[in-house]
Structure 1
Amino acid sequence: MLKTVLTATTLALGLSACATAVPPVEVTRFHVGNPPVSGSVAVTEMTGNPDVGLEFRTYAAAVGRELQRVGFSETSGPASDYIATVGFRRDFRPTGPDRSGKPVSVGVGGGVGSHGYSGLGVGIGINLSGKPKDVVTTELQVQMRRRSDSTVIWEGRAMTSAREGTPAAQPGMAAAKLASALIGGYPGESGRTITVK
């Protein structure tokens, strides 16, 4: 009995630590009128994204799950009603003394949105020095177009920052958090930037 209580307490503390470890997400969305809330959607890579393989699939899967939660059905191939293009990037900002503080973009993706935000990352960064960890800023961009005429019906971006090496900086957790913050509450208020905790 005592072992069960201790295990449950340890699990609860671990889960609460994970919940508080995820930093807030800044979200901006754009749409005209009342965008659709149902239909089939194919999730694809945003033009300009370098091939990032497994990591891109992590972000695309998170976006697909969230679109299903708000009423869309995910499909593949050319028969979908809508196309959701996904782009993401990660920037590493050095911290500590004797550093410039300028962000360094690294090889996890990029993209261009029609409302003026864009990004492209190339390369890789690893900190093995024992010095203060970099701050990782991760940005997710999603744009939905009507397949029949390529009209953009909705788009948005979500951004969060976390210390390198923490769970919140890992692609799986970042992808889930960003997609949930961005697509949750779809379509959201157009042109307004909000913070989602």
Structure 2
Amino acid sequence: MAGFPSFARAALAGSFSALLLSGCTAMTPPVDVTRFHNAQVAPIVPGSVIIEANVTDEGDSRSIEYATYSAAILRELQRVGFTEARDDAKNSQYVARYTIDRAVLSAGGSRSPISVGVGGSTGSYGSGVGLGIGINLGGQPKDKIVTELSVRITKRADGNVVWEGRASVEAKQGSPAAQPGLAAAKLAEALFKDFPGVSGTTIRVP
């Protein structure tokens, strides 16, 4: 596991804001969201947090993608009351670890265990099943890009999980909503909508 370097986040601040603005006018598909927590018994008290990515595929292109997702998640966590542990990350009250999985769903609806996603699975969602890589033939509907964001928030002091959630969206290949920047903003916003959300229930966020 690796935290995302702050310099990359800073370098992308301007471009990320532009992506958010463009997302306001783009037609984006709905997001399916599921959350798990025990907040009704032990309320989640927001505090300082550090964002970390479960990275298995590194490189310049992936670094840009991870920076975009890190910024989107942090923005939503700040919106619900958390603060970034920028100067004292090792002593943050919480750690938010996330995974990005992306795959291609063929226009014919076929699925296979072949995945083009990155990162490992998190929490109780298990290993998951990848989606097949389809070939789009002329005249047929376009394949869809399936992007899934999983986030788990743990207490640093004891490692206990206080909240975890998963958000997924399907967008036509080549459409604005299939681009990492817009997908990151859309998924993060949907995932933390009405935080902590209803536990164990899947909702669809427009």
TM-score tier (shorter): 0.7 to 0.9
The whole-number CA distance in structure 2 between the counterparts of 1:172 and 1:178 is: 10
Counterpart secondary structure, 2:110:
coil
Aligned counterparts of 1:112 and 1:190: Cα–Cα separation in 2: 19
C-alpha distance in 1 between matches for 2:168 and 2:175: 16
The number of aligned residues is: 174
Deviations 1:22-43 (A, max 9, x none): 0111000001233424200000
Q: Which has the larger radius of gyration?
A: 1
Conserved in 1, the CA contact under 8 Å of 2:107 and 2:136? Answer: no
Give the aligned CA root-mean-square deviation in angstroms.
2.6
Q: Percent identity?
A: 45
CA distance in 1, matches of 2:201, 2:164: 12
Cα-to-partner distance string for 1:43-101 (whole Å, 9 max, x where unaligned): 0012x6432311111111110100000000012420110000010111101215xxx72
- More strand by proportion, 1 or 2? 1
The corresponding residue for 1:105 is 115
Rate the CA distance shift 1:73–1:64 in 2: closer, same or farther, 3 A: same
Partner Cα separation in structure 1 for residue 45 and residue 194 of structure 2? 11
Q: How does 1:48-67 map to 2 (within 5 A)?
A: 49-51=56-58, 52-67=62-77
With over 3 angstroms needed to count, the CA separation of the structure-2 counterparts of 1:49 and 1:183, relative to structure 1, is farther
Q: Distance in 1 between matches of 2:179 and 2:157?
A: 37
Q: Is the 8 A contact 1:109 1:120 kept in 2?
A: no
SS in 1 for 2:183: helix
* Structure 1: runs of 5+ lacking an equivalent: 1-13
Measured in 1, the distance between the counterparts of 2:136 and 2:200 equals 41
By how many angstroms is 1:126 displaced? 11
1:118-138: CA deviations, max 9, x gaps?
A: 4598xxx89797564211111
When structure 1 is superposed on structure 2, of 29-38 and 174-183 the one drifting more is 29-38
In the alignment, structure 1 residue 38 sits paired with structure 2 residue 50: no
Unaligned runs of 5+ in 2: 1-21
Which residue of the partner structure matches residue 68 of structure 1? 78
User: TM-score with structure 1 length normalisation?
Assistant: 0.78
**Aligned counterparts, 1:15-164, within 5 A:** 18=26, 21-32=27-38, 33-46=41-54, 49-51=56-58, 52-76=62-86, 77-95=89-107, 101-103=110-112, 104-106=114-116, 108-118=117-127, 132-164=141-173
